Copies of this chain bind each other. A is one copy, B any other.
Amino acid sequence: MKPLIAALRRQPLERPPIWVMRQAGRYLPEYRRIREQHPFREAVSDPDVATEITLLPLRRFDLDAAIVFADIMTPLEAMGVEVEYSPGPRLRPMSPGKVAELPDPDPAGIEPVIETIRRVGAQVAPEVAVIGFAGAPTTLLAYLLEGSGSKDFPRLRRALVSQPRATSAALVRLAEAMRSYLSAQIGAGADAVQLFDSWAGVLSRAQFADLAGPSAAATLERLEAPTIYFAPASGHFLDLLPMVGADCYGLDWRIPIDRAWKTLGEVAVQGNLDPAVLLTDPDTIRRTAARVLEEAGGRPGHVFNLGHGIHRDTPPEHLQVLVETVKG
């Protein structure tokens, strides 16, 4: 069994598998070169380019997974939502009622992502897992209502209070659509899938318990591959996360992995080295990575990762130091 999948199933391993969020990203000069030729949407729409980008970090580092190159907004475009990237997503703000009426993703619209997964699966070494992903309903709704990124998405929070029924219907719609999107990725060969709930942390405990958690759970329900749920800055409802029913929970750097794991119980965990550590120096990287390993204590079910996406200013050789430390 591929080491990542074994870890997600909490099988004992000699050392934790490692991959890194945003590992095919701007910190890599070869990524920046490709992106000079291919704007974001073109890169995602062309399986030749997307496959090449997905594989870039694997050519440099001894990583245990490739994550398909796409964006959480990609399937929304296949649902008829017009999205610009500048560089973050921009779109015309929608009402929850309109979101609830969005169609399923057009298969032709998601086909480039699906085809990229097929090609990546055919090209990676047999022990390397292919990870598919989607944005969680709450996080997608945050962008759809706000029209862009935001510090704390007041329009989402307003809608949750003043239009609870329409908001709930919108989340149900997005959960169905993302479940079918993830299911198609698994059908194409994704060995595991991660649900990114990047903005669930702006919600209150009650809002997570009533809406964000259940809609994430509905997205992942009965998928035929191991699932990872990642909601950064969610320490105020850490004890509620298991309602999502994922096999593994991503942890940011805010809570030590042993403490968080105790709260989460019998699941796998992924994380949680602060990506800012990769901006320092090799000694500091080795020392802090060793601390994460110590906190994880060799327990089955640990996937080594950063607590957030790798920072664009990271020197690639610092990631090399990290991978060697974890593998060594």
Residues of A at the B interface (CB closer than 8 Å) are 151-152, 154-155, 157-158, 161-162, 201-206, 233, 235-238, 253-256, 259, 274-277, 279-281, 284, 288, 308, 311, 313
Contact = CB atoms under 8 A, between A and B. Distances in A.
A321 to B, nearest CB: 14
Q: What 7 pairs across the A-B complex have the smallest Cβ distances?
A: A235-B236, A157-B276, A162-B280, A158-B276, A158-B279, A154-B276, A236-B254
A254 B154 contact: no
A184 to B, nearest CB: 31
B255 A204 contact: yes
Given A157-B274, A161-B280, A276-B161, A204 B152 contact: no
A209 to B, nearest CB: 11
Given A235-B236, A236-B236, A255 B158 contact: no
A205 B233 CA distance: 12
B204 A274 contact: yes
How many monomers of this chain does the complex have? 2
A204 B281 CA distance: 20
B279 A154 contact: yes
Contacts of A158: 276-277, 279-280
A274 B313 CA distance: 35
Contacts of A254: 202-205, 236
Contact of A308 (B152, B259, B277): B152
Determine which residue in A155, A162, A256, A313 has the highest number of CB atoms from chain B within 10 A of its CB, and name it. Answer: A162
Contacts of A277: 158, 161
Nearest to A277: B161
9 contacts: A154-B276, A155-B279, A158-B280, A161-B277, A204-B256, A205-B255, A233-B236, A235-B236, A235-B237
Contacts of A238: 236
B161 A201 contact: no
A252 to B, nearest CB: 9
B253 A311 contact: no
A201 B311 CA distance: 19
Contacts of A205: 254-256, 259
Contacts of A157: 253, 274, 276
A72 to B, nearest CB: 16
Contacts of A236: 233, 235-236, 238, 254-255
A151 B158 CA distance: 21
Contact of A274 (B151, B155, B161, B279): B161
Nearest to A201: B233
B152 A284 contact: no
Given A161-B274, A235-B236, 17 more contacts: A154-B275, A154-B276, A154-B311, A154-B313, A158-B280, A161-B280, A161-B284, A162-B280, A201-B233, A204-B255, A204-B256, A204-B274, A205-B254, A205-B256, A206-B256, A235-B237, A236-B238
